């Protein structure tokens, strides 16, 4: 399979298993489950679970043995989007070309759907370790849970919200970006490495790679919010400027930001020197995809 086919294959596998994990027969809380499914099934690149599964493969393990963890990561990502879109937060009504969760189901259900997905992700991860009780498995889910929390994703979102309309320094912007977006991307790769019993050298190399692509991903997101195509993106562009958000283009200008993203990708690829060229094809192509993507 070439790069594009691999991406599509992983995406479909993750979506299939997420559907199964969300096939929950209930009598009373139908609306809650429906709203969780709505956001999980609303599409998306599925970048984080793909990174997780491809890292497992890179390290010669069977991705199907870890598929629930990939789904749990995507559920954490989805919950964060539902809560970020709420009126009290970014107040977005469109996501991936569809009305956001609270627009369809109301605010109360959207809050609970987010809570439900965050909790379910942890239930799935804990149940996984309960079945396969190893030090590396518990350490792997530890990495994911930490990245999602108040020293990771939630911290990034909290500072992002607080900083709206304020003039913030570059360090604060970097903090927001590396936590809000970078933390879970990094954890997807590093947790997979740990759970695949990789040695420290390989874990360290993959961690560096993950840091760089997380950064390049965010810079590209900022650029797409200026130059992107609304139809392809599935959301309105210009919202960063409208909400007076701190972005790379705002600090460095558009051209310098593009150059920065490109250099970051070069660094990402270089950090994989410890792997054989034939092993890392996917990760090299993925690094390029990160900055060339249109959505």
Closer residue to a second copy (CB): 33 or 274: 33
**Strands 94-95 and 98-99: what pairing?**
antiparallel
Taking the complex as a whole, the smallest distance from the CB of residue 177 to a second copy amounts, in Å, to 12
Taking the complex as a whole, the smallest distance from the CB of residue 278 to a second copy amounts, in Å, to 35
Which of 12, 60, 130, 266 touches a second copy by CB under 8 A?
Answer: 130
Taking the complex as a whole, the smallest distance from the CB of residue 120 to a second copy amounts, in Å, to 6
- Dihedral in degrees, nearest 10, Cα atoms 255, 261, 263, 267: 170
- Please choose, from the candidates 82, 47, 57, 7, the residue with its C-alpha nearest in 3D space to the C-alpha of residue 184: 47
Which of 103, 104, 111, 284 touches a second copy by CB under 8 A?
Answer: 111
- Please choose, from the candidates 157, 148, 262, the residue with its C-alpha nearest in 3D space to the C-alpha of residue 215: 262
65 binds a second copy (CB under 8 A): no
Closer residue to a second copy (CB): 32 or 42: 32
70 binds a second copy (CB under 8 A): no
CA 136 to chain CA centroid, Å, is 22
Site for a second copy in 147-186 (CB under 8 A): 148-151, 154-155, 157-159, 161-162, 172, 175
Which of 8, 115, 240, 288 touches a second copy by CB under 8 A?
Answer: 115
Taking the complex as a whole, the smallest distance from the CB of residue 294 to a second copy amounts, in Å, to 30
Which of 107, 199, 244, 259 touches a second copy by CB under 8 A?
Answer: 107
Q: Which stretch in 46-54, 105-113, 205-213, 265-273 sits in contact with a second copy by CB under 8 A? A: 105-113
Which of 139, 229, 263, 266 touches a second copy by CB under 8 A?
Answer: 139
90-99: long-range contacts (C-beta < 8 A, 24 or more apart)?
90/239, 90/243, 92/235, 92/239, 94/234, 94/235, 94/236, 95/42, 95/234, 95/235, 96/42, 96/43, 96/44, 96/234, 96/235, 97/43, 97/231, 97/234, 97/235, 98/42, 98/43, 98/234
Locate tokens 């020293």: which residue?
151
| 8 A C-beta contact, residue 247 and residue 222 | yes
Closer residue to a second copy (CB): 31 or 262: 31
Locate tokens 């992983």: which residue?
10
Which of 83, 211, 245, 280 touches a second copy by CB under 8 A?
Answer: 83
Rounded to a whole number of angstroms, the CA Rg of the chain reads: 18
Q: Which helix (H) or strand (E) holds 95?
A: strand 94-95
Closer residue to a second copy (CB): 41 or 142: 142
Binding residues for a second copy (CB under 8 A):
24, 26-29, 31-33, 36, 83, 86, 88-89, 106-109, 111-112, 114-116, 118-120, 122-123, 125-127, 129-130, 133, 135, 138-139, 141-142, 145-146, 148-151, 154-155, 157-159, 161-162, 172, 175
């Amino acid at each position: 399979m070439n790069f594009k086919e691999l991406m599509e294959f992983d995406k479909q596998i993750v979506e299939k298993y997420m559907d199964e994990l969300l096939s929950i027969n209930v009598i009373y809380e139908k609306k809650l489950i429906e709203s969780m499914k709505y956001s999980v099934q609303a599409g998306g690149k599925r970048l984080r679970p793909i990174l997780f599964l491809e890292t497992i493969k890179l390290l010669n393990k069977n991705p199907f043995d870890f598929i629930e963890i990939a789904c749990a990561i995507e559920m954490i990502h989805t919950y964060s989007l539902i809560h970020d879109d709420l009126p009290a937060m970014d107040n977005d009504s469109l996501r991936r070309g569809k009305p956001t969760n609270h627009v369809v189901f109301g605010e109360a259900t959207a809050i609970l759907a987010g809570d439900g997905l965050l909790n379910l992700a942890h239930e799935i991860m804990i149940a996984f370790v309960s079945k396969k009780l190893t030090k590396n498995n518990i350490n792997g889910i530890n990495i994911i849970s930490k990245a999602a929390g108040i020293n990771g994703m939630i911290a990034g979102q909290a500072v992002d919200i607080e900083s709206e309309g304020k003039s913030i320094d570059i360090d604060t912007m970097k903090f927001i970006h590396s936590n809000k977006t970078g933390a879970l991307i990094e954890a997807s790769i590093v947790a997979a490495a740990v759970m695949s019993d990789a040695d420290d050298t390989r874990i360290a190399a993959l961690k560096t790679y993950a840091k760089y692509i997380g950064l390049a991903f965010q810079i590209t997101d900022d650029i797409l919010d200026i130059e992107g195509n609304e139809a392809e993106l599935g959301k309105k562009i210009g919202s960063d400027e409208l909400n007076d958000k701190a972005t790379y283009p705002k600090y460095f200008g558009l051209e310098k930001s593009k150059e920065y993203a490109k250099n970051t990708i070069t660094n990402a690829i270089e950090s994989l020197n410890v792997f054989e060229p034939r092993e890392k094809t996917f990760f090299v192509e993925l690094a390029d995809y990160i900055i060339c993507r249109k959505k």
